[in-house]
Chains A and B, each alone.
Chain A
């Protein structure tokens, strides 16, 4: 049998659907320049038409047709040479719509394989977000703001070709930079894109992530029940009712915290999270009413605490809040856990205020789908500059 190459692209539904498809297709086309056959496909169980939902595309390439067929015999590869995460917040975990529980971003990586991430974060931050593995792997960063666009529009900021250039560098057996550039010219007829691929090729370096390095959390696991162990009638226990919240300082109980699905967390859909200024909140209830994921817990004093296990980061709360800077969306990379903001505020109001101001000021920009008009026009020139100059 010849050699089989498998590459997965982990992306966010709608915002990065076209980006992922472009990368996946171009991998196959570049390999084809060297006579290698391949296929490109999206994971069917995903729902790439849902905002921000983690989803996957795969490119399978082989040295010959028979080997390719061996690779195609299993629908989804069990291990990959390269994992591409086109959004750095996906390093926190991938919870597909076709639910398998929250899974590590690097789960399918072979020992010694490479995780390529588009990010403005440094390697340390990305490693800390990603689950630890028992085998070493490589990490390569494509510097830049994760590229987000819409379902019908494509933001051509060269992220696609920069990733292709990086692949040629970290896995030269798959294809050369020359083949990548030939494929780019066929597909896009844009010599600037070809240049961006070459720049990425020249600059890409990777560092070794050692066994055990990273987020120590044990990835979610569960056993599938046998057919006769499952309940009948496609009926499952409902999510139970909620209960009052407890003030961490006074232990007064009140408000309402709805019970949520204990296994389907939803939060890996999030790329930005709301931070709430409880001192300026006027308790108007709008965030709580409008949140499409019912993520706001009602505190004993009638404030609204965005629960980070349930928040998908859509930004509706920020949009509907009538008080300036009471709810502010902040890049998810700025946070290390899903702890309650309200509890932190209750325990130390001054400390919380300092933390809040720091978070709101923190520069890490992010494209967030529809966040504000004109965002693409601002970001594309900036990204092209990064592609050119590094």
Chain B
């Protein structure tokens, strides 16, 4: 075979291109651009698409990393935890009950201040065995010190992965981050994605420097000794402070992202769609944004002023900003692609958090209705959204509505 002419390395680093790739592939490309050192894998759908794409990148010689297929999710997450402690930039991920099987490792990761980036291909928790999206898997770590972000497009997946590395590996933070991607809707559908140049990524993303916490013979430290009641509370308080700082560091990272890549996400924490003149708003996370936006355009043509707030960052939760935003509307309809059985008013997780955010707010507190929808990968349809909107309008008019309603259910 004749040698293929390739551009010099300096030129290659400047190449920007557009590719037709899935959300999973976009995250794999982000791993390549971030020059991740250690990647562990264990197959479970839909996360496994990422491990396959990364595997292909390695096999093709496009990416140089330690790629370890573990014997289960628990080991998978433990291996990268230790690699990160030794100064390696790491990536891993899982889905559904695979993520749950890794739970012990997931629990200790933020406590040890490990900036692990994990992709959660959102999947219903067994039983029954189901591939489809539900957000309960990723939400299980919401209290532990994990940063949690939901994306709704392949482009946003790629960009947010780079931002996540930048924020997690910031010495002020050193906390893991889970990138939540809806199974099927994002992980398995291809769209056109702008792949930034290596040069720009290098400019945006500094090297991971574990500094004084580096586990290395030249820096002899003991990590995670036993600590009794005399120490645990102070250690928790340190994580509280780190999580408190994420809000500012995320803002910085998005501002820098816009400066370097020229692509803006506006408010990093949530996206507002047609809210400027809206009477009521719907709220949700992930790819349900597509049917909601389509339904809103349809309803607007019918004269209904409906807006949409898509939450990206669930942890940290930008409560003050969100309360200020929601205070502008006369009612809010939260769509929960999750459940929290027995919770206050039997609602989903997101609705509970939204009400919690609104309660201390000095501004207006609109009624918040909750709609459980799209579980197990069921589609959230345009008529579903219209039905939800009708109920929210009733609430806005002061007519009592059930606080939690199931939408798209056969009943």
Contact = CB atoms under 8 A, between A and B. Distances in A.
Contacts of B62: none
Contacts of B4: none
A45 B228 contact: yes
A238 interface: yes
Nearest to A99: B228
A227 B213 contact: no
A234 B227 contact: yes
A233 interface: yes
B237 A227 contact: yes
A240 interface: yes
Contacts of B227: 234
A226 interface: yes
A233 B228 contact: no
B60 to A, nearest CB: 36
A377 interface: no
Interface stretch (B215-223, B320-328, B371-379): B215-223
B224 A234 contact: yes
B212 interface: yes
Contacts of B242: 232
Interface string A163-192: 000000000000000000000000000000
Interface in B74-112: 111-112
A234 B220 contact: no
B252 to A, nearest CB: 20
A236 B222 contact: yes
A224 interface: yes
Interface in A302-361: none
Nearest to B113: A233
B112 A224 contact: no
Nearest to A241: B220
A45 B232 CA distance: 13
B213 A235 contact: yes
Contacts of A239: 222
A232 B225 CA distance: 13
A374 interface: no
Interface in A42-82: 45
Contacts of B222: 235-239
Contacts of A237: 220-222
Contacts of B143: none
Nearest to B215: A235
Nearest to A75: B229
Given A98-B228, A226-B234, A227-B237, A233 B220 contact: no
Contacts of A233: 112-114, 174, 213, 223
A344 B116 CA distance: 54
A230 B174 contact: no
Interface in A206-258: 224-228, 230-240
Nearest to B225: A236
Interface in B207-262: 212-213, 215, 220-225, 227-231, 233-235, 237-238, 241-242
Interface in B56-76: none
A232 B113 contact: yes
A189 to B, nearest CB: 40
A98 to B, nearest CB: 4
A45 B229 contact: yes
Contacts of B111: 234
B237 A232 contact: no
A232 B231 CA distance: 12
B213 A238 contact: no
Contacts of A225: 234
Contacts of B230: 100, 224
A99 B237 CA distance: 21
Contacts of B114: 233
Contacts of B215: 235
Contacts of B221: 235-238
Nearest to A231: B212
Nearest to B227: A234
Interface string B33-71: 000000000000000000000000000000000000000
Nearest to A236: B222
A359 B225 CA distance: 38
Contacts of A98: 228-229
Nearest to A47: B226
A227 B234 contact: yes
Given A235-B215, A237-B220, 6 more contacts: A98-B229, A227-B234, A227-B237, A228-B238, A232-B238, A236-B221
Q: Which 3 A-B pairs have the closest CB atoms?
A: A238-B220, A227-B234, A233-B113
5 contacts: A100-B230, A227-B237, A228-B241, A230-B231, A230-B238
Interface of A: 45, 98-100, 224-228, 230-240
Interface of B: 111-114, 174, 212-213, 215, 220-225, 227-231, 233-235, 237-238, 241-242
